[in-house]
Amino acid sequence: AQSVTQPDIHITVSEGASLELRCNYSYGATPYLFWYVQSPGQGLQLLLKYFSGDTLVQGIKGFEAEFKRSQSSFNLRKPSVHWSDAAEYFCAVGVMRGSQGNLIFGKGTKLSVKP
């Protein structure tokens, strides 16, 4: 069965430090992979996505993620975290049925940023 694992429930980093949020997936075919961010009281905003091609994808707000098929991972990175990045981050895999996909989400990683 398809699944997404985000091993870190809560991470705290200092402002200006680098960030890596881990995501592992289980999916039988080539996955469509996504990262979403949810700020307090807000909806889910798409940060970036991977469908095919270059395994390093760039997203909004200075985030990037790297798809590693051999490790079934799609980790999210940012070289220098800003206080406004404090939020909850969700990794998701798109389960495609024909042309349409539904998303299976991980449990999320809450990011706190300390000054």
Best CA proximity match to 90, nearest among 101, 72, 104, 80? 104
The smaller minimum CB distance to another protein, of residues 13 and 96, is found at 96
Rounded to a whole number of angstroms, the minimum distance from the CB of residue 84 to another protein is 17
Cα(35)–Cα(61) distance, rounded to whole angstroms? 12
Phi, psi at residue 30, to the nearest 5°? -65, 125
Rounded to a whole number of angstroms, the minimum distance from the CB of residue 79 to another protein is 25
The smaller minimum CB distance to another protein, of residues 46 and 56, is found at 46
Q: What is the residue whose two structure tokens read 């590693």? A: 68
Residue ranges in contact with another protein by CB under 8 A: 32, 34, 36, 42-46, 49, 51, 90, 92, 94, 96-97, 99-108
The smaller minimum CB distance to another protein, of residues 44 and 86, is found at 44
Rounded to a whole number of angstroms, the minimum distance from the CB of residue 105 to another protein is 4
Cα(84)–Cα(31) distance, rounded to whole angstroms? 30
